[in-house]
Amino acid sequence: MNQQPSSSRPTRRLAADAAGIAEAAALLRAGGLVALPTETVYGLAADATSGAAVAGIYAAKERPSFNPLIAHLPDLASARRQGLFDAHALALAQAFWPGPLTLVVPAAPGCTVSDLARAGLATVALRVPAHPVAHAVLAAAGRPIAAPSANRSGRISATSAEDALADLGGRIDAVLDAGSTKVGVESTIVACLDGAPRLLRPGGVPREAIEHAIGRPLAIAGDAGHAPISPGLLASHYAPAARVRLDAEAPRDGEAWLGFGPDRQDHPQALNLSPSGDLREAAAHLFGYLRRLDASGPATIAVARIPEQGLGEAINDRLRRAAAPR
């Protein structure tokens, strides 16, 4: 299939039923691009074993080729054919898969995930998603599926089929529509490479839960600069067109407002991630609300302070990347 983005490329909207799942799997096996729902965000899926298909992801997303992609599998047994799991990686997979956790492990000798998907690295990023539609597509496709978030690179991640179509319509073959995602932020990424697991990206599984599962603190990796070893480590990422001002007490003149918790702001361009202060609700709303505020055209989006705990760590990570200079 032609993998170059084109405004004339038809993008089909598939129902998340047996026929739609079968069609999505067939497109993936043929080298096509399909936006799929997962429990975290919508992913832009392609055959991870095909360099040409993976190149289509980079082209559609306009994504830097040095940023590796997560390969999605239907189960742990399939994942262990692609990567080498030490005791920590195995414990984490057994505790949190299927679910919003990605493990970066050494590539197995028989790893079929393409070099392009792994950005030329000797490691591979693996995840078993929990969403039943994603699981059905993976099982039907019968191969690892690369699936970064279904948005243009650096833009706000897609949490609905509408979001994916807004960013990628005309660039991909299909969107499999299963409604809005539940978690709302991407997977947590943990590297299990040198004996001591490292947190590479906060996400849908809180750090505290991971530390409890392995019985030790996680080391924390800093930004990877120009050569990240896993997805989601570019400094400017998840960025709306508007500037983002963090830890704001209130909006200034001309700013849109993204609130959290009890909030009495009377503002025409205002949304609240969770009036009750529920971090799970805030995570689910984060990208959708950023998109809505950005679409209203402000120069700046002011964001209320979010607690740095549990899922708040992942929310703040995304917001800091959205606010990074670019």
Residue 65, pLDDT score:
61
Residue 52, pLDDT score:
86
Question: Amino acid letter at 26?
Answer: A
Rounded Cα distance between 200 and 207, Å, is: 11
Tokens found for residue 299: 């120069």
Tens digit of each residue's pLDDT, the chain (326 residues): 434 444 467 999 999 999 999 999 999 999 999 999 999 999 999 999 998 899 899 889 887 666 789 999 999 999 999 999 999 999 999 999 999 999 999 999 999 999 888 888 889 999 999 999 999 999 999 999 999 999 998 889 999 999 999 999 999 999 999 999 988 888 999 999 988 899 999 999 999 999 999 999 998 876 444 456 666 665 666 678 999 999 999 999 999 999 999 987 778 899 999 999 998 788 888 988 998 999 999 999 999 999 998 888 878 988 998 898 87
Burial label, 223 (beta-carbon count in 10 A; 0-12, 13-18, 19+): middle
* DSSP H or E segment with residue 25: helix 18-29
Residue 234, pLDDT score:
57
Tokens found for residue 176: 């499999």
Nearest CA among 1, 280, 41 for reference residue 149: 41
Residue 1, pLDDT score:
41
Tokens found for residue 85: 């799991």
Residue 41, pLDDT score:
93
Residue 150, pLDDT score:
95
